Amino acid sequence: MRFACDRSNCKSRRGSLASATLSAIARLTIIHRAILTSLLTARLVRRETHCANRGCQDRKQDFDVILHNQPSPATIAKASQKDRTRSEALALQRFVRQFVVEMPKTFFITTAIDYTNSPPHIGHAYEKVLADVIARYHRLKGDNVFFLTGVDQHGQKVQQSAAKAGVPPAEFVKEITQKFVDLWKKLDVQYDEWAETTNERHKKVVQGILQRLFDAGQIYKDKQAGHYSIRQEQFLTDKERGPDGEFGPEWGQIEFREEENYYFKLSQHKDWLLRYLDDRKDAVIPDFRQTELRNAVEKLSGDLCISRPKSRLDWGIELPFDKNFVNYVWFDALTNYISFAGYDPKPDNYEKQPQEFRDRWSKDTLQIIGKDILVPAHGIYWLIMLHAIGFPNEAMPQLLVHGWWNLGGAKMSKSAGNVIDPFVFADKYGAEAVRYYLVSDIATGRDSDFSEERLVQRYNADLANNFGNLLNRTLNMVHRYCKGRLARPRETRKFPTDVIDGYKQLVAEYTAVTAPVRPDVLIERSLYLASVFNGLIEAKSPWTLAKSSKPEDREFLEDLLYDCAESLRILALLVSPILPKAAQGIFDQLNWKMELSGKEERFSLADAEWGRLPDGHVVGKGVPLFPRIDIGDGV
Ligand code: MSP
Phi, psi of 101, rounded to the nearest 5 degrees = -105, -50
* Cα torsion 339, 345, 350, 356: sign: negative
Which one, of 369, 353, 365, lies nearest residue 395 by Cα?
A: 365
Percent of the chain with pLDDT over 70: 82
Residue type, 409: G
3-state helix, strand and coil shares in percent for the chain, rounded to the nearest 5? 55, 15, 30
The Cα–Cα gap between 26 and 67 comes to 22
Whether residue 412 lies inside any domain: the answer is: no
The Cα–Cα gap between 101 and 19 comes to 9
CA of 435 to the centre of ligand 1 (A): 18
458 with 436: CB under 8 angstroms? yes
Q: What is the pTM of this model?
A: 0.84
Query: For residue 16, what pLDDT is reported?
Result: 38
Same structural domain, 392 and 460: no
For the Cβ of 331 lying below 6 angstroms from any atom of ligand 1, the answer is no
Same structural domain, 458 and 567: yes
For ligand 1, pick from 109, 124, 411 the residue to mutate: most ligand atoms within 8 Å of CB.
Answer: 124
User: Per residue in 445-465, pLDDT tens?
Assistant: 999 999 999 999 999 999 999
- CA distances for 521 relative to 371, 525, 575, angstroms: 20, 6, 11
Ligand 1 atom closest to the CA of 406, numbered from 1? 26
For the Cβ of 414 lying below 6 angstroms from any atom of ligand 1, the answer is no
Asked if the model's pLDDT at residue 532 lies above 50, the reply is: yes
For the Cβ of 113 lying below 6 angstroms from any atom of ligand 1, the answer is yes
For the Cβ of 401 lying below 6 angstroms from any atom of ligand 1, the answer is no
Asked if the model's pLDDT at residue 20 lies above 50, the reply is: no
DSSP collapsed to 3 states, 422-436 = HHHHHHHHCHHHHHH
Same structural domain, 574 and 498: yes
Same structural domain, 340 and 201: yes
93 with 25: CB under 8 angstroms? yes
Residue 549: give the domain boundaries: 452-634
Same structural domain, 85 and 112: no
- CA distances for 100 relative to 12, 13, 15, 113, 626, angstroms: 10, 9, 7, 34, 44
Asked if the model's pLDDT at residue 96 lies above 70, the reply is: no
CA atoms within 13 A on the CB side of 566: 23
The Cα–Cα gap between 114 and 26 comes to 53
In sequence order, the β-bridge partners of residue 240 are: none
For the Cβ of 607 lying below 6 angstroms from any atom of ligand 1, the answer is no
Last-in-domain residue among 407, 438, 466: 407
Same structural domain, 400 and 483: no
1 with 282: CB under 8 angstroms? yes
Whether residue 354 lies inside any domain: the answer is: yes
CA of 298 to the centre of ligand 1 (A): 25
Residue nearest to atom 5 of ligand 1 (CA): 112
Ligand 1 atom closest to the CA of 127, numbered from 1? 29
Q: Which of 25-29, 329-333, 476-480, 501-505 ranks highest by mean pLDDT?
A: 476-480
Which one, of 102, 141, 145, 60, lies nearest residue 604 by Cα?
A: 141
Last-in-domain residue among 38, 71, 99: 99
Count: domains in the chain: 3
User: Per residue in 54-91, pLDDT tens?
Assistant: 444 444 344 344 334 444 444 444 544 445 445 555 55
Whether residue 444 lies inside any domain: the answer is: no
